[in-house]
A and B are shown apart, each in its own frame.
Chain A
Amino acid sequence: MRRLLLATVGLLALCAFPAAGTIEASATTVPSSAAPTPSGIGIRLLDIPVATEKDPRAREYIVDNLAPGTTIQRRILVQNNTDQPQNIHIYSAAARISGDSFAGEKAATQNELSGWISADQTRLALAPHTSADDLVTIAVPANAAEGERYAAVWAEIRSTQPDASGSQVTSVSRVGIRVYLSVAPGNGPPSDFTITALTATIKPDGTPEIIAAVQNTGGRAIDLSGTLSLANGPSSLSAGPFVTSRITTLTPGSHGNITIPLRTGLPRGRWDATVHLSSGLLMHTTTATVTFMPTSAEVAVPKPGLSLALWILLGIIAILIIAATMAIILKRRRRQST
C-alpha cells in the first residue's frame, strides 16, 4: 500500500515539473519578433552629440548647453505612416514647464528660444509610408542672456475641413521633439536634485501612496521618474517595486512632489521605503521609515454600551449571587427538616 502511495506521489511530482516549465515561459513577457507598424505621423531626433549618447534624455530630446553666439544643427526624421500623401508642416514653437510637466504652447506661439530655431524645410510633401530628413538649426545670438529655455520642434498635419460627412471637429495631429537649451559659457551649470522627504498617505478611496518631496538643486531642468520598494513591513513583508505615476519635470531651483501609488490592501504599519529617482543619467536613492496609519474606516469602532469584559464580570457575579442564594435556601430547608 505504501509503495503504491509513493509511486503515485512520484508520478504526480514528475507531472508537476514540465507544468512548472511551461508556466515560467508564459509568465515572462517575451517581445514579439514582428515589428509594430506605426500610423499617423512620426518624428525622431537623428543627431545627438557623442558626449551625451548614453543619456536617455539626450537620445530623445535636444538637450544642450551652448555659449552665446553658437550655432548647432541637428537632423530630424519625419515619417508619414498614413495611407494618404501628407503635407507635413514643420515648425518650432514655445514650450514651458508648468504643473511639473513639459508642455508645448498652443499652436505656433513663439518664445525667445523658438525664435532661434529654424527648420530647413518647413513643408514636406511625403508619399504614404515614406519618411524624410530635415535639418534643424539653433542659432544662439551673441547677446543672449544666460539661462535655460524650453521649446519644441513640431511636425504637424491637418485634416481637410469641412469634409463630406459634415463633422464639426477638424483634427490636427502633431508630434514634437523637446528642446531644453541652456545658454552659458563652457559646459554650463550641472544638474542635481535632492529627495527631501518621504511621506506615507492613504487616499480617501483607501489606496496607499508614498509622496517624495524633491528639490531641483542644479542649474538644468530635470525629468524625474523612478521606482519605490518597501521592506521590513508588518510580519517582515516586502513589497514592490512600484513605479511613479508620471514624469515630473522641475525647473532649476523649484521643488515638487512625486507620487508613487501602491497596492490597495497593503498592510498598515511601519515600512522601510527605498525610492530611486532618475533624470537621464542622474540618479539618487533615499531610504526612510514610513508609517501607514489605518484610516477611520479601517479602525474597529467600539460598540456603545458595556464592553464584553464587563458583561462577563457581571455574569460571574450574577452566577455567584444565584449560587449563594441557593446555598442559603438549601441550608434553611435542612435546618427545618432536622
Chain B
Amino acid sequence: MRNTTRVLAALAGAAALTLAVTLPANADTSDTTATVEVQAGALSIAAPAAMTLSAALPGATSTGTLSGVEVSDLRAGAAGWITTATITDFTSASTTATIPSTAVSFATATADVVGTATVTPSNGGAGTGTLQTATAVTGNNTATWDQTINVAVPADALAATDYTATLTYSVL
C-alpha cells in the first residue's frame, strides 16, 4: 500500500512539472488588437541534404533512401501536423531530356514517435504526396522516419549521369 502511494505522489509531481507551460500575464498593448505571447517551442523539420539515387536503365526503377527525416513538434499544443513532399522534373545539363516528376513515387516508412501523437505514414505518387500525418497530439512530439523515393525511368529516357531534381519537404 505504501509503495502505491509513493508511485502516485511521484506521478502527480511529474504531471505538475509538465503542466508548467504558462502564459505571461502582461499583454502586448502596442498593437490595436491585444495579443498575448505564447511561450513554447517550434515546429521544425530536418531532412538530410543529399540523396543518391541508384543507376537504372530506361524502363527500370531507380531508388534512393533518405534516412532520418525528422519532424519535431515542440509547440506543446494539440494541433497535429502534416508533412508533404513534392519533386520537380529531373533535368540534365548535358541532354535536353527530362524525367517527369510524375514518374516519382514516395514510399514512407512508419515513423518512430517520441511523445503522445499518432503518426500515420502514407505513400505518394506522381511526384507529390502526403508523407506523414500526426493526429491525437498532446504536447511535444518528434517523429523520425526513412523516406524512399522510386523513380520509374521512362523507356524513352536519354542516358545521362547528371540528372538532378529538387525535392521539397513541407510541414504545416
Give A residues with C-beta under 8 Å from B. Answer: 17-18, 20-22, 24-25, 28-31, 33, 36, 38-50, 53, 56-57, 59-61, 72-75, 77, 79, 81-82, 95, 101-104, 106-107, 131, 152, 154, 158-163, 165-178, 223, 225, 227, 243-247
CA distance A31 to B116 in the complex (A): 10
Given A244-B136, A247-B133, check contact A60 B23 (CB 8 Å): no
- In addition to A21-B6, A175-B170, 7 A-B residue pairs with Cβ atoms within 8 Å of each other are A17-B4, A25-B10, A28-B11, A36-B140, A41-B45, A171-B50, A172-B167
Given A47-B35, A47-B36, A245-B120, check contact A171 B49 (CB 8 Å): yes
- A-B pairs, 3 with minimum CB distance: A40-B46, A42-B44, A42-B42
Q: Mark B33-51, 1 if CB is under 8 A from A, else 0.
A: 1111110111111111111
Secondary structure of the B contact surface, majority rule: strand
Q: Is the CB of B80 within 8 A of A225?
A: yes
Judged by a CB distance under 8 angstroms, whether B107 is at the interface is no
* Chain A residues within an 8 Å CB radius of B10: 25, 30
Judged by a CB distance under 8 angstroms, whether B96 is at the interface is no
Q: Is the CB of A168 within 8 A of B163?
A: yes
Q: Which residue of A lies closest to B30 (CB)?
A: A73
Given A21-B3, A176-B172, check contact A38 B135 (CB 8 Å): no
Q: Mark B78-100, 1 if CB is under 8 A from A, else 0.
A: 11101010110010000000000
Given A40-B44, A60-B75, A246-B135, check contact A169 B149 (CB 8 Å): yes
* Chain B residues within an 8 Å CB radius of A73: 31
A1 to chain B, nearest CB (A): 30
CA distance A82 to B45 in the complex (A): 10
Query: Which of A41, A45, A152 interacts with B38 by CB under 8 Å?
Result: A45
Q: Is the CB of B35 within 8 A of A48?
A: yes
* Chain A residues within an 8 Å CB radius of B87: 169
Q: Give how many A-B residue pairs fall within 8 Å (CB-CB).
A: 232
Q: Is the CB of B44 within 8 A of A101?
A: no
Judged by a CB distance under 8 angstroms, whether B17 is at the interface is yes
Query: Which of B18, B41, B86, B170 interacts with A42 by CB under 8 Å?
Result: B41
Q: Is the CB of B44 within 8 A of A172?
A: no
B30 to chain A, nearest CB (A): 9
Judged by a CB distance under 8 angstroms, whether B67 is at the interface is no
Given A38-B44, A103-B82, A104-B170, check contact A169 B51 (CB 8 Å): yes
Q: Mark B103-137, 1 if CB is under 8 A from A, else 0.
A: 00000000000111010100000001010010110
CA distance A41 to B41 in the complex (A): 12
Of the A-B pairs whose beta carbons lie under 8 Å apart in the complex, a sample of 15, sorted by A's number, is A30-B10, A31-B18, A33-B17, A40-B47, A44-B40, A44-B75, A47-B36, A72-B33, A75-B37, A82-B46, A103-B82, A104-B170, A106-B168, A174-B171, A175-B45
Q: Mark B132-146, 1 if CB is under 8 A from A, else 0.
A: 010110011010000
